Amino acid sequence: MLSHSATNMAEDNKVPTEENATMLQAFEWYIPDDHTHWKRLARDAGKYREIGITAMWIPPPTKASAPSGNGYDIYDLWDLGEFDQKGSIATKWGHKDDLVALANVAERAGVLLYADAVLNHKAAADETERCRVAEVDPEDRTRFISDPYEIEGWLGFTFPGRGDKYSSMKWHWEHFSGTDYNSENEKTAIYKILGDFKSWAQSVDNEKGNFDYLMFADIDHSHPDVKKDINDWGIWIAKLLSLRGFRFDAVKHFSEEYLAEFISVLKANVHEDFFFVGEFWKDSLSDMLAYLDRLDGHKFSLFDAPLVYNFSQASKTESYDLRQVFDGTLVQARPIAAVTLVMNHDTQPHQALEAPIEGFFKPLAYALILLRRDGYPCVFWGDLEGISGEFKEEPSCGGQLADIILARKLYAYGTQDDYFDYATCVGWVRRGTWDRPNGCAVVMSNAGEGEKRMFVGEEHEGEIWTDVLGWQRGEVHIGADGFADFKCPATSMAIWVNQVPGRDQFGTFKAGKGFGKE
């Protein structure tokens, strides 16, 4: 038996349990183009941190083709809202000074920043240039459907508002592999640019024969000038904003070989533990796993698109078998590389990849990504704060998504015991750790009222547990054997927790006003 001093030494040698990491996608598609979003995020960064947000994925901070552009219509990597270009100085999200201020506030609050990097294409060129092309079949980009000829393409990027500040590179036709418009005859098509050493990138998705081309002027990442400029930009913006990660847009469409190079450059010049996640939006687990295998060694993650589609199907299918909700998902197959999510700016209502999830199922879906062991969960701004504009929606989960996030921060630790033994009612228990001992019991139903007899541990004998959401009334008394019967309302869920410190924080988050009592 250990002596008292030896026992204390054993306790001292235990590794403290790190707080659960939770990412916030800190925007949605329809946020007003009032150029003040960086200020909004700076205002609320500390409040998000209080409920358990440890990182924010911010929208593309680079100059778009128009003042209202969300940034995926990217014009200039080096303009973060500093130069009078494309109709305004600020980007849709704000001025560069506000962005830098946000970075400083986030760092003080302990919130990491991940920037959205749009590296596949450029839009809104300053000049047309003549180049030699051939049209390709939109459904098979490896098949030519015209003889070679010249077009007048929008391919000259001279950045007159910025000049040579930060970068002196000007982009011309030779820096691109394809485009979609001939201004000479106003014809829209997919034009493959021809020339010495010109080809579609080969390390891309093979959908449509070769999916290098997506939109606008498609960047040729094999060109040495292109690689140097983007690599230099990555180092510059990462250091300027103290970034700790990038979200890469449209990774199916540009060179995996170049992406691996960019990652290596960032790790060597900025931070070895940089976080990288790609938007490889495809409902094919095998394709996702193959992509990750090809990037082996680069600690790369992908958003779990199959999980989103499972959630959508589950919400629309009567008596869906909840035991199958993780089947065919990345988080099930390779949890260390999975960023789990319920919705994002592409799948939200009226967007190109819309994946509707019925309102009753949103809390269940968020519990499945936030309160379980596997995956790195990403919360969508539109669910936490609501969706603006023509398609306005109130915050999901009855306005209590913040409480589910807070439950992750406080209680979702330790061993996970699953009770996935009934099609329409499942549950699980997180048993806690030596220094975060409280744990939680979660039960959910997509049909009638749910009930699960679950084991939380004999050490909890006599404790009184209640639902932190307040959706299931009453109390549960933990028996001498460590078991109790946990319930939830019909088509709903409950998060059962002991009456412990932190309970007074639940129910105080106000959408649009951040966290805190008024």
With a cut of 80, say whether residue 473 has pLDDT above it. yes
Q: Provide the pLDDT for residue 212.
A: 97
With a cut of 50, say whether residue 4 has pLDDT above it. no
The predicted model scores a pTM of 0.94
Beta strand extents in 54-168 (DSSP E only): 55-58, 63-64, 74-76, 112-117, 121-122, 127-137, 140-144, 149-156
With a cut of 90, say whether residue 413 has pLDDT above it. yes
Catalytic residue among 249, 304, 383, 403: 249
Residue 221 burial (10 A CB sphere; 0-12, 13-18, 19+): buried
Q: Provide the pLDDT for residue 518.
A: 32
CA dist 255 → 126, 300, 314, 438 (Å):
25, 15, 35, 47
Catalytic residue among 174, 180, 279, 304: 279
With a cut of 90, say whether residue 14 has pLDDT above it. no
3-state secondary structure 477-497: ECCCCCEEEEEECCCEEEEEE
pLDDT in tens, 352-402: 899 999 999 999 999 999 999 999 999 999 999 999 988 899 999 999 999
Instruction: Go through the domains of the chain in sequence order and give each one's CATH number.
Output: 19-117+224-411 (3.20.20.80), 122-219 (2.40.30.140), 416-509 (2.60.40.1180)
Q: Radius of gyration (Cα) for the chain, nearest Å?
A: 25
Q: Provide the pLDDT for residue 371.
A: 98
CB 213 within 8 A of CB 227: no
Q: Mean pLDDT across the chain, nearest whole number?
A: 94
pLDDT in tens, 240-262: 999 999 999 999 999 999 999 99
Q: Provide the pLDDT for residue 509.
A: 86
Is 279 part of the annotated catalytic residue set?
yes
CA 264 to chain centre: 21
pLDDT interval class at 501 (50, 70, 90): low
| Overall average pLDDT of the 116-143 stretch | 98
Q: Provide the pLDDT for residue 500.
A: 72
Question: How far apart, in whole angstroms, are the C-alpha atoms of residue 256 and residue 253?
Answer: 9
With a cut of 90, say whether residue 507 has pLDDT above it. no
pLDDT in tens, 69-115: 999 999 999 999 999 999 999 999 999 999 999 999 999 999 999 99
Contacts of 365 (CB under 8 A, 6+ apart): 311, 314, 315, 342, 357
Contacts of 495 (CB under 8 A, 6+ apart): 367, 371, 404, 407, 411, 440, 441, 442, 467, 468, 469
Residue 518: helix, strand or coil by DSSP?
coil
Q: Provide the pLDDT for residue 8.
A: 38
Residue 437, sorted as left (phi over 0), alpha (psi -120 to 50) or beta, turns out to be: alpha
The single-letter DSSP state of residue 393 is: B
Q: Provide the pLDDT for residue 499.
A: 82
CA 207 to chain centre: 23
Q: Provide the pLDDT for residue 512.
A: 64
pLDDT interval class at 13 (50, 70, 90): low
Q: Which helix (H) or strand (E) holds 368?
A: helix 362-370
Q: Provide the pLDDT for residue 2.
A: 32
Q: Provide the pLDDT for residue 430.
A: 98
Q: Which amino acid is at 456?
A: V
With a cut of 90, say whether residue 491 has pLDDT above it. yes
pLDDT in tens, 198-227: 999 999 999 999 999 999 999 999 999 999
pLDDT interval class at 296 (50, 70, 90): confident
Q: Which helix (H) or strand (E) holds 453?
A: strand 450-455
CB 309 within 8 A of CB 281: no
Contacts of range 286-291, beta carbons closer than 8 Å, 24 or more positions apart: 287/205, 288/330, 289/330, 289/333, 289/334, 291/251, 291/256
